[in-house]
Amino acid sequence: MAGTADALAIELREVAKTFGQVVALASISLSVSRHSRVGIVGPSGGGKTTLLQIVAGLLEADTGLVRVEDAASARQRLARCALMPQRDLLLPWRTALDNAAIALENRGLSRAEARNRTRPLFERFGLARFENARPVQLSGGMRQRVSFLRTLMAEKDVLLLDEPFGALDSITRAQMQEWVLQAMDAVPRTVLLVTHDVEEALLLSQRVVVLSERPGRVVAVLDSDHRFEGSRREIVTSPGFVSLKEQALEALGS
């Protein structure tokens, strides 16, 4: 947690990535300040996931500079980022609580300690009764909540969310968005969220970066940093939100 509040948590400068003949990303520049939330929207196949994997240190960029906090190398970035994948990827042989606690165990804590540290979050975020449930016994929304808590329990300052609710139906999705907003207010983190849903990006982030089709480049940056008050429905239908959404959709269409 070193550094000042306005320090950059993630910085990308002219990052490019090519797979064989396919140019996935063409010169992306982007910065995310500490404990802010940035959404990335773009058409599918536009290199959004590639971008996240580069930030996470799972991939190395061909050219350009990538920094996450004070780390520049892929290996160090991997140690500073927690990535939540689109599929929940819960381990069927672990209970919900043990799935969420796995990062702590990976860091050498005993099973009991890892559980004790994870349990308060379960209670706080409405999963209290499901600690000992197996993933197969949980609904899609619940599984995604456990997956999110697992990412949170990695206790890293940077969260990378890759289409976190892409596989959910729209009702569950709306509930999850509210739930995540609550969680993020309670446990502040730097968040980079990738989605193809403009509304989701505007709702969950303070700034939205619109990417073009492949090869991906930044076509618009929208600030949605005014506090939206009220219920999700009130926010989504407010004039300010609707005009932002139109701007984003226009940028996507161009």
| Beta-sheet pairing, 8-19 with 22-33 | antiparallel
Residues in contact with another protein by CB under 8 A are 56, 58, 78-79, 81-83, 85, 87, 89, 91-95, 98, 102-103, 105-107, 111, 129-130, 132-134, 136-137, 150-151, 154
- The CA-atom distances, in angstroms, between 53 and each of 37, 63, 135 are 17, 15, 26
Q: What share of the chain is helix, strand, coil (3-state, %, to 5)?
A: 40, 25, 35
User: What is the closest distance, in whole angstroms, from the C-beta atom of residue 242 to another protein in the complex?
Assistant: 36
Amino acid present at 142: M
Nearer to another protein, 79 or 242 (CB): 79
User: What is the closest distance, in whole angstroms, from the C-beta atom of residue 58 to another protein in the complex?
Assistant: 6
As a whole number of angstroms, the distance between CA 218 and CA 222 comes to: 11
User: What is the closest distance, in whole angstroms, from the C-beta atom of residue 111 to another protein in the complex?
Assistant: 8
User: What is the closest distance, in whole angstroms, from the C-beta atom of residue 83 to another protein in the complex?
Assistant: 4
Q: Are 64 and 13 in contact (CB under 8 A)?
A: yes
Return all residues near 157 (Cβ < 8 A) that are at least 6 apart: 1, 9, 34, 35, 69, 80, 189, 190
Nearer to another protein, 22 or 91 (CB): 91
User: What is the closest distance, in whole angstroms, from the C-beta atom of residue 105 to another protein in the complex?
Assistant: 7
Nearer to another protein, 20 or 92 (CB): 92
Nearer to another protein, 59 or 208 (CB): 59
Nearer to another protein, 99 or 212 (CB): 99
